Structure 1
Amino acid sequence: MAAVTELSFLLFALINNIHAEERITIRYEGGSYTFNPPKEANFCLISRFVGEKKLLLWNTSALWSENSTVPEDLKRRLSVGSVNNISSYTIQNLTHSDSSQYQEECWTEGKVTSEKNTSITVCKTKDELKVIDVRFGGTVDVSCEGAADNLNIQWLKYDHGYKTWTKVFEDDTTSLMDNVKVVKTTSALRLSNFTFTTFQWYMCLVMNQQQCVSSHPVQVSVPPEIIYHSVEETAVLQCNVTDFSDDQPPVWMKRNFPKSSDTGQGQLNKTVSNVEEEVGRNYSLVISSLTLNHSGRYYCKTFVTLQMHVLVVCPKFGPPAVELFSEGDDVTLRCRNWEEGMVPLWFMKSNKTEGRIFNTYNIRSDLRRVKTFSLNGSLVISNVSLEDTGEYWCAVLDPDQQCVSTTKTLVKYREPFGIHFTLYTVRNSLLSGLLVILCVVVVTVIQRSRRGEQRSAETES
C-alpha cells in the first residue's frame, strides 16, 4: 500500500512538472504555423485538445481522401510543402480560435516513434521590444506595458534550448523560477540576483479570458562592461556565466572595432561585421603587455549565453590636473585633446571602490548626477559629495575607435580646516585688517581736513 501511495505521489509530481513546463509557441492573427514531421515516419496524426477531449485533425497519409477528418474551415487554410523530400504542413491565416494544445504523433512500421506536444497561442497584436538594462547580480522590476489596470495577464520566459516559451507562474502566487516573484500592484516581474544564466527574454500576454489580446516582449540584459587600461599593463577579463562544464570551458572571441571607412563614422554602438577570432578557452582571459591593438570587443560564449567586454587600451597619461570642491558644488572636468568627430569615454576610480575602475556608463545608476557632454567632451558632476572623490580619466577615441590620448583629473574635497581653509582664512583676515586700516586712514584724513578748515576760519576772523 505504501508503495502504491509513493508511486501515486511520484506520478502526480511528474504530471505537475510536465504541466508546469508546458512549452508555448506564440503566433499572431493572420500568421501561420508549420508542423514538420520526421522524414522516417510512415505517417503522422495531428490532433488538438479541446478541454479534456483530443480531436484528430488529419492523418498525413490520407490528408485529402474522402474520409479526411480535416474540418472544412481548416481545410481551406491548410497547405502542404516539401523540402528535400520532407513534407511539412502549414496552417495559414491563424485566428484566436486556433489557440490550443496540439499533438503530433508519428508512426514508423506500426510503432509510435515520435510524439511532440505544442501549445499555440495566437495573439491579436504585438508591441515593440522593450530593452531593460540590469547590473550583474542586481534586481530589476519588469513591467507589463500593456496591462494598465488589467491584472488578467500571463508572463512567459523564452527557453533558448527548446526555442519555445514557458510560463513563469503556474498561478498568481506560485513562481516557477527561484529568482522571480510577482509584484501584483504593477503586474510586474521582479528579477533578483540577475546573472547571465537568468532567462533574458520575457513576454507579457494581456488576456481576455482565454483569448490573447496583445503581447509585450521584453529583453533584460547586462550592458557590456567597458574596461580601461594603459599600454604595457595586464588585463584580466572575467567570464561571469556559469552554464559551462569542466570539459567545455567558455570560448573567448574578439571582434576589432569597426573602421571609419566601413561604418562612415566611428561610434561604439555601431554594428560591427561578423569577422571574429578565437583568443582563448578558459574561465578568464589574461592579456599581458597590452598594446593599442588589443582594444576591441571580447565575447565570453557558452552554449546558450554570451557576455561582452569592451577593452579600451590608451597611451600612458601625463601629470594629472586637480579639481577642488566643497559639498554641493558643480564640477566640470575637461577632456584635453578632444576634437569634433572623436568619442570621449570617461572612467572613474572612486576612493570607495577599492581601486576598481568603472566606466561612467556602467555606473550611471549609482551616479545619477553625472552627465557626459559629447559636444565638448566634458563631464559634469552636479551637487558634488564625498563619494565623488577619486581619479577620473577621459579616453579620447578617434573615428577608428583607437585611443589617442588620456586626461587624468584628481577630484579632491576641500577640507574646511585644511591648508586650503587656512589660506582662505588668512586671506580673509588680511583683507579685513586692510579694510579696517583703510577706514581709520580715511577718518583721520577727514578729521584733519576739518580741523584745518576751522583754523583757517579762525585766522581770517
Structure 2
Amino acid sequence: MTCIKFTELLLFLLLKQVSSQEPETVLRENGTSIVMGYCFGADYIVVYRSAPDGEQLLGNSSKKNLPNTPPADLQGRILMNEDENLLGMHIIGLTELDSGIYRRECWQNHTVAKNHTEQLFVCKEEISPEEIHTNNEGGTEIRCNSASVGLEGNFVRWYQELHPDYKSTLLLDSSVSLEPVIKEMQGFVEARENGALLVLHKTVLQNFPQYYCVVLKGKTCLSFQNIYLPDRSESKEVFASKGERVVLNCTGNGEHLQWETPLGQINSSSPRNNQMYISAGREPASFSLIIPVISDKHSGTYSCIAPLFEIEYSLFLCPQNTLLKKVASKGENVSLECSPGLDNHKRVQWYRSVQQETYEIIGDTNDESVIIPNDLKGRVKLSDSGLLTISGLDIKDERMYKCVVINEFVDNLNTEDYNDEDMNEDDFSDEEHSNDIARCHLKQDVFLNISNTGFTKKDLGVKPYEPSNVTGHAVAGGLLGLLVVVVIVIVIVKKKPCATNRNKDNEQSSERDRGCTDKLKQSGEDENEHFLG
C-alpha cells in the first residue's frame, strides 16, 4: 500500500514538472477570438508570434502614443486591453492560418515579471463538451466523438489539464504511439480503437479531471472536444446555536482530502484537534467534520477540499431557542409556524433531519428553485410568511424540523435593533458573533410526532368482517342468549358455597352476609366483562 501511494505521488510530481516545461495548448474554433493571456498589475504587455525567420512583434502596450504595426495578416484584428490593472491582447476572427506558437511578456519596473508561451490550434469544428462518468473503481473510459476519427490520414491527440494550474499538456499522440507520452503513465492510461478511446485509472483521473481530444490531418486541426468531470464544488450556509453539535458532510477520497477551518487545517492523516474531528460516516467515502459543542470560536468558513471538488460551509451562530413539539395524526395536514410578524427583509428556510445531526432543505421563501425531496413533492407548501404546511401525513414524516429566519441585508442592520427576548448578553460577546446574530434572526427546532390514533385496521393489514344483515342479527341474538345462560350458571355456582357457610355458622353477622352478596355480584360482573372483552 505504501509503495502504491509513493508511486502515485511520484507520478503526480513528474506530470506537474513536465507540464511546466511545455507550451500551454490552446484550442479555438474557426471564426472565434482569443485573449493572449492577461498581465495582472504589470506596467505593460508585449506579445510575439513565432515565424520561420524568427519572432514577430504583434503588440506592445507601452507605446501608447505610437500605432502598433502587426503583420499584414493580423492588421485590423488585434485589440489591446487598456485597463492598467488587467493588460491583455485580443485577436478576433481567427482563421486556420493563425495556428502557431505565441509568447507574451509581462513587464514591471523595466523587468520581465512573467514570460508565458502557448501553442494555438484553430480548428474547423468544436464538438459539444461531454461529462465524464466514473465506474465503481473510480476510473473511466472516454471517447473522442468527432466524425473525423478513423478516416484515412487522420490521427488523434489527447491533452489533459493539471489542477490547480489548469494548463493543458500532451497525454498521447496516436500518430507516434498508442502509449502515453510519459512512460511512467503506462499502466494508468490505456489507448484503444487507434486512440479514439482512452481507459483511465483513478489515480490519473483524480489529478487530471479535464481532457481534450484533437483530430488532425497533417498540421490541419479538424475538430476538438472537451471531456471533463462535472464541477462538484458548492457552497452552503449552516445555522446553529451555542452548545449544539454540528456535522458538516463531505464525501471523497480520504487520502487526498482536507478541511480548512477557522481553527486551522484538519486532514485524514491528522483527523482531530482539540475542538473538532473528522469521522467516517456510514458510507466508506464519507469524511464528515464533527463539531461536538458549538461556541463563538466556531463561527466562520469551513472548506472540504478534494482533488475534484470543494464544498464550502458558512457557519453562522443563532440566538438560543427552545424545542417545540407538534402532534398530528396520520393522513392529516399539519402547519408548522416559524415566527409571526416577519417583515419583508426576512427570509425563511425550512429543513428536516435525514439522519443524526444532518438536515436537508425543504423550503425557502426567497428561492423557488429549491429541490423538494421526492417523498414530499405535492405535499409541502411554504407561504410567504414562512408557514410550512405538510399534507397527507405519513409515519415517515415523524422527525425533527428546523426553521431559520435570515436577514437578507446584513450590511444595513445593527445588532442594537434586536430586542428579541430569547437573546441575552452572551449572544453579543464579540463583534464577529454580533455579525452572525445579524445574519441569523431566529432558529426554531420543531419535533413532529405522528400519533397512532390515526391508524385503522386497514392500515394494519387486517380485513374487517362484514356479515349480511340477516346473519348479523342471528349471530347477535345467539350470542346474547348464550351470555345470559353463562351468567346465570356462574351466579348459582358462586352462591352455593356461601349458602352452605351460612348453615354451618348461624352466628355470622349481617355484615358478613352483605359481603358475600357483594362478592357474588362483583364476580358475575367480572365474568361478564371478561366474556365481552
Short-chain TM bin: 0.3 to 0.5
Q: Which has the larger radius of gyration?
A: 2
Q: TM-score normalized by structure 1?
A: 0.46
